[in-house]
Structure 1
Amino acid sequence: MRPSQLAKSYDKIARQWNTDMIGSEYGIPMIDRAIQYCTEKKTALDVGCGSGGRIINRIMENGFELTAIDVSEGMLELARENHPQVRFEQADIIEWGTTERFDLIVAWDSIFHLPLEHQEPVVEKLCRFLNPQGILVYTFGDAEGAHEDTWLGEKFGYSSIGIDANLKILSENGCQCRHLELDQYPLNHVSVIARNSR
């Protein structure tokens, strides 16, 4: 599924997603763990921030200056209402670039929507965006390949290169895995925390 199609699907479900997730604690234990690994807490990037809520709140509560991007304008409209102090940008992480470097990068349940061929280059890009000793936390599937599924009546694409390939990419790009968890077992959902060791 192309990012433009993904954006349209999320535009259509944005208000329902916001209602369901704005106060959720889903993923927060891993976000808290990632923040604990941070030696600096100055700059953060949230990739696929959605309408905001729990993750943005946690990042802001820890004193980071936050940049947040999402491909869905519908989601970002709500995010701007929920977090007027945050700098949001509508962007496709495949194409998006920056000269900024970050102490923390979060990509929670976002880059697994990208086409399979973009998994490796995007993870490599996120590694490059880290400051020395910066922390990356993201999710992916514990299965290799791509598929589509329906959620809230809309189609979404999912893809993964699996655990071994993700760990290899992190290592080859100077990032050391600090924690990996199959956090919804028996579902194929993986969360990982890595540190830029360069």
Structure 2
Amino acid sequence: MHDRIVGQYEDNAAAWDQQRGRDLFEKAWLDRFLALLPPAPRVLDIGCGMGEPIAAYLIERGAKVTGVDSSPSLIALCRERFPEQRWVVEDMRALRLGERFDGLLAWHSFFHLSPEDQAPMFPRFATHAAPGAALMFTSGWGRGEAIGRWQGEPLYHGSLDSDEYAALLTANGFAVLDHRLRDPECGEATIWLAQA
């Protein structure tokens, strides 16, 4: 079922663009992320969707964004809205850009991978992280899989447990700065903030 995610967002790109809230309840965490970065940082937004509201907020604050998403239609919207930034159609599991970034963000995207596909992402994060880079991502709150519904189809989410994430971060050169389990002030998101 997790292999359907790529096609699901592509098939429903217009619906996602309409439904995705722009109210930026994530602002406090994005500000913490940005505070760790140098001026005019280079940020890799992994699973960027159509670029709103997350990438838009980063751009407004001076970041040079490279956005990656598996949906060509969502990336087309990014290119239309933010033509001065770089937008790449790519499955995050195959990410190999050959460059390093000051910040890496995988907000409400990484958790669509199966637990088995999530662990190999951490070396990919490390490969794309400049010295001192910040990494922020959202996860589930316990090991396993959860199936929601969206656009009349099952919507897959997977997660490792907190100890596994902490170990993977440490093994790949990231120090955990904060980990919030189901943050009530951020839509119940489970958030990890780390730094290389």
Q: Does the alignment reach a TM-score above 0.5? A: yes
**CA 1:152–1:27 in structure 2 vs 1: closer, same or farther (change >3 Å)?**
farther
**CA 1:184–1:14 in structure 2 vs 1: closer, same or farther (change >3 Å)?**
farther
Is 1:16 matched with 2:15?
yes
1:41 and 1:103 in contact (8 A); partners too: no
**Equivalent residue, structure 1, for 2:46:** 47
Measure, in 2, the Cα distance between the counterparts of 1:28 and 1:162. 25
Letter in 1 for 2:27: I
**Equivalent residue, structure 2, for 1:153:** 152
**Equivalent residue, structure 2, for 1:67:** 66
Question: What secondary structure sits across from 2:166 in the alignment?
Answer: helix
2:102 and 2:133 in contact (8 A); partners too: yes
When structure 1 is superposed on structure 2, of 140-149 and 95-104 the one drifting more is: 140-149
When structure 1 is superposed on structure 2, of 95-104 and 175-184 the one drifting more is: 175-184
With normalisation by structure 1, the TM-score equals 0.89
Figure out how many residues of one structure are paired with residues of the other and give that number. 195
When structure 1 is superposed on structure 2, of 95-104 and 39-48 the one drifting more is: 39-48
Is 1:138 matched with 2:124?
no
Question: What secondary structure sits across from 1:177 in the alignment?
Answer: strand
Give 1:80 shift. 2.0
**Equivalent residue, structure 2, for 1:31:** 30
Measure, in 2, the Cα distance between the counterparts of 1:154 and 1:46. 26
**Equivalent residue, structure 1, for 2:103:** 104
Letter in 1 for 2:168: I
List per-residue Cα deviations over 1:53-110 (Å, max 9, x = no partner): 1211222123222111101122222222222222111101111202100001110011
Could you tell me the percent identity over the aligned residues? 27
**CA 1:130–1:34 in structure 2 vs 1: closer, same or farther (change >3 Å)?**
same
Question: What secondary structure sits across from 1:159 in the alignment?
Answer: strand
RMSD after superposition: 2.0
2:48 and 2:68 in contact (8 A); partners too: yes
**CA 1:41–1:60 in structure 2 vs 1: closer, same or farther (change >3 Å)?**
same
Is 1:194 matched with 2:194?
yes
List per-residue Cα deviations over 1:163-182 (Å, max 9, x = no partner): 11111111111111112112
Measure, in 2, the Cα distance between the counterparts of 1:40 and 1:163. 31
Q: Which runs of 5+ in 2 are unaligned?
A: none
Letter in 1 for 2:88: E
1:111-122 residue pairs with structure 2 within 5 A?
A: 111-122=110-121
Give 1:189 shift. 3.5
1:39 and 1:134 in contact (8 A); partners too: no
List per-residue Cα deviations over 1:9-31 (Å, max 9, x = no partner): 11232222212326231322211
List per-residue Cα deviations over 1:22-55 (Å, max 9, x = no partner): 6231322211111112245431100000011121
2:100 and 2:129 in contact (8 A); partners too: yes
